[in-house]
Amino acid sequence: MIEVRSLKKYFKTKEGMLHAVDDVSFSVEKGETLGLVGESGCGKSTLGRTMIRLIDATSGSVHFEGVNIMELSKGGMKSIRKKIQIVFQDPYSSLNPRMSVKDIIAEPLIVNSTFARSADRDKRVWELMDTVGLARRLAGAYPHELDGGRRQRIGIARALALSPEFIVLDEPVSALDVCIQAQILNLLKVLQKDFGYTYVFISHNLSVVKHVSTRIAVMYLGKIVELAGGREIFKNPAHPYTKALISAIPRPVAGGRDERIILEGDVPSPVNPPAGCRFAGRCAIKTSECEREDPELEEIAGAGVEGGSHFVSCFNSGRSAG
Amino acid sequence: MKNSEGKKGNILDVRDLVIHYELEESTVRAVEGMSFTLGYGETLAFVGETGAGKTTTALGLMRLVPSPPGRMVGGEIFFEGRDIMKASGEELRAIRGEKISFISQDPMTSLNPVMSVGSQIAEMVVLHSGLSMRESRARAEEMLSLVGIRKERMGDYPHQFSGGMRQRVLIAIALACSPALLIADEPTSALDVTIQAQVLNLMKGLKERFDTSMIMITHDLGIAAETCDRVAIIYAGRIVEMADTESLFTEALHPYAIGLFNSIPRIDDDRDLLDALPGLMPDPARLPQGCPFHPRCAHASQECENSAPGLEDVGNGHLLACWLRGKRNSEVGSVAQ
């Protein structure tokens, strides 16, 4: 459904070029959820926005149902946007505080002149509110009167208004408490089942990503370092960064846990990144090769006990972290 | 330097603490009768959602609830045997920072942006220890290296550090006077997981080294399980369940605690849908009659609507505030495995 090829997004800064997304390629299949996981500043949100052309790419292509949307005209882009939507992280700043719930959900329908009669439009708004579990009595309320969970439901209803096929979910539950988070995650899953949506789910929370994703891509400093099925990547992580990331999650269980891998240092700056593997500076199994050359994302043979392909960009992934 | 050497019993004893925020139109009942004790050298977790009253309780322990609108309505707080509720301003200033230290959630706003980190640590030492400036700076250098920051960075300012490093600086400040009690309010919530792992590891090591007692406020059950000896689950300004980590994580009893466990996605389970608790935490300005959880509880009875259950021992020090206390959790619905 979506083919991303060699996508790059650089930002100019005073110190030099910031490589937010650096030569990333992957595809998303119809009806699946691709999880994009990584720590702050790894470029996952920039990737999510660049791939649907909310910001223009530096280079690379994104084919949506066979059409390269990077080359589309403004008009062509507008018609394809109906099929592509995004839900933002912050349900506090992504909703216009001066618009009522009903107006926010109706806006995409008005902008795209979907309905000739306002009665039909209203009907669609009621339908959307029912779908996402917002009581109709809240139609006249303003965002500030509602809690975070309800606001996020408004953001989801707005994204669904034009019956899209593909939705980028950018940290949709990060601002929410666990109980509300569970309600929203369930809603997203049920909607996908009912309407066949394709999702890219961006999050820093590995447990959440594992829960919702068919496949997971792990990002580090603008690159995808590992890509595999959700169960596979947790069972057989191959990249040392993925291993450290999984090991770092505090487990809500009593007593014993495996020895934790603790990474030294911070994520280096994405401005003028050094040659070689981006992770080399914090890696326990690096070799001199890692400092000279940047490993490509390649399929590993023999893995994939959980089915599907498993890609990793590491020269030494066959070796254990010791 | 050891704080708890030869000391038995409790460093902190809190009884029926009630803290309200009195607004023009309503009274926000942030803390509604909180009672707990903390042993010397022990780490206690406060787990709960936004607005449960965790931070207000922590601030209340140091009498730092902003007033107005905050008001310490009632209760007693004994810290090392002294009644904090009756302490004078001067006594409180001597306790804060020296005996009780606080690490806040946000390392970006709790440091002074126009003061070097070395001076910020030294300032703390000068104020509380009576050491000279030179000695205090030496102590600051020592603290920085303890938290893994090179002493060459003494003269650097907060903006020159990353989030994880700033949190380390806060930890250095908090521990500079070897406090007897450290209150950490979501110390790693603003950090990425790999950095969180570094900071938690560091805190654990330093806590042992200084033998500090600690209250860890968190919304993350994983952090509570891994860093704390005992866990208190807080809902609508009350402790609804409190037990040692082992028994709470193997057999949570309160329907809210069970609901919390079931609503978190875990990397070791493959459930399709999560068992989300219905509804929301009640508005603390309009708490329901009876047990504050009853409107969301699948097992609520008439009794739950009429009166709020007290926190009682259901065996082996496992405390529970629920009218179902006699029943096993298998009858109530257990934690999904």
- The first and second tokens of residue A5, run together, are 């090829």
Q: List CB contacts (< 8 A) between B222 and chain A.
A: 249-252
Residue B181 φ/ψ, nearest 5 degrees: -130, 130
Q: List CB contacts (< 8 A) between A251 and chain B.
A: 222, 225-226, 266-268
* CB spacing of A40 vs B274 below 8 angstroms: no
Would you say A250 and B189 are in contact if contact means Cβ atoms under 8 Å apart?
A: no
Q: Which residue out of A218, A266, A269 would a mutagenesis test of the B interface target, given it has the greatest number of B Cβ atoms within 10 Å?
A: A266
This prediction's pTM: 0.86
3 state SS of A173: coil
Residue range B143-200, pLDDT digits in tens: 998 888 888 899 999 988 888 888 889 999 998 888 999 999 998 887 888 888 888 9
Q: List CB contacts (< 8 A) between B223 and chain A.
A: 250
- Chain B window 22-61: which residues touch A at a Cβ cutoff of 8 Å? 49-50
Angle at A191 between CA A185 and CA A197, to 5 degrees: 110
Residue A66 φ/ψ, nearest 5 degrees: 90, -10
A269 part of contact set with chain B, CB < 8 Å = no
Alpha-carbon span B47 to B256, nearest angstrom? 12
A260 part of contact set with chain B, CB < 8 Å = yes
Say yes or no: domain A2-83+164-312 is CATH 3.40.630.10.
Answer: no
Would you say A13 and A196 are in contact if contact means Cβ atoms under 8 Å apart?
A: no
Look at residues B174, B112, B147, B141 and name the one whose alpha carbon lies nearest to residue B133.
Answer: B141
CA quadruple A133, A138, A139, A144: dihedral positive or negative? negative
**What is the ipTM for the molecules in this complex?**
0.82
A92-116 average pLDDT score:
92
Ordered by start, the domain boundaries in chain A are: 2-83+164-312, 94-163
Give pLDDT, residue B61.
95
- The first and second tokens of residue B165, run together, are 């490093």
Alpha-carbon span A48 to A36, nearest angstrom? 9
- The first and second tokens of residue B244, run together, are 């040692």
Q: List CB contacts (< 8 A) between B227 and chain A.
A: 250
Name the DSSP class of B96. Answer: B
Q: Which among B259, B267, B277 is the nearest to A210, CB-wise?
A: B267
Give pLDDT, residue A302.
61
Look at residues B276, B266, B192 and name the one whose alpha carbon lies nearest to residue A263.
Answer: B192
Give pLDDT, residue B327.
67
Using CA atoms, how far residue B43 sits from B46, B190, B317, in Å, is: 10, 21, 16
B169 part of contact set with chain A, CB < 8 Å = no
* Structure confidence at residue B5 as a pLDDT band (50, 70, 90): low
Total residues belonging to chain A: 322
* CB spacing of B248 vs A247 below 8 angstroms: no
Helix axes B193-210, A240-248, angle to 10 degrees: 50
Give pLDDT, residue B32.
93
> How near does any CA of chain B get to the CA of A245, in Å?
6
CA quadruple B70, B71, B77, B82: dihedral positive or negative? positive
* Chain mean pLDDT for chain A: 89
A268-289 average pLDDT score:
87
CA quadruple A282, A288, A293, A295: dihedral positive or negative? negative
Residue range A228-277, pLDDT digits in tens: 998 899 989 999 999 999 999 888 887 655 578 888 877 788 888 878 99
Alpha-carbon span B309 to B240, nearest angstrom? 9
Dump the DSSP string for B226-286: HH-SEEEEEETTEEEEEEEHHHHHH---SHHHHHHHHHS--TT---SS--PPPS-PPPTTS
Q: List CB contacts (< 8 A) between A212 and chain B.
A: 265
* Structure confidence at residue B329 as a pLDDT band (50, 70, 90): very low
Taking 50 as the threshold, does the pLDDT of residue B334 lie above it?
Answer: no
Residue with tokens 């595999």: A228
Q: How far is CA A71 from the centre of its chain?
A: 23
Q: List CB contacts (< 8 A) between A206 and chain B.
A: 193, 267
Give pLDDT, residue A322.
36
Would you say B19 and B84 are in contact if contact means Cβ atoms under 8 Å apart?
A: no
Give pLDDT, residue B148.
85
* CB spacing of B270 vs A206 below 8 angstroms: no
**What is the C-alpha R_g of chain A?**
21
* CB spacing of B165 vs A252 below 8 angstroms: no
* CB spacing of A252 vs B225 below 8 angstroms: yes
* A97-111, A152-166, A255-269, B19-33: the lowest-pLDDT one: A255-269
Give pLDDT, residue A41.
83
Dump the DSSP string for B102-158: EE-S-TTTSS-TTS-HHHHHHHHHHHHH---HHHHHHHHHHHHHHTT--GGGGG--G
Residue range B24-78, pLDDT digits in tens: 888 999 999 999 999 999 999 999 988 899 999 999 999 999 888 999 999 999 9
Ordered by start, the domain boundaries in chain B are: 246-337
Over pLDDT 90: what percentage of chain A?
62
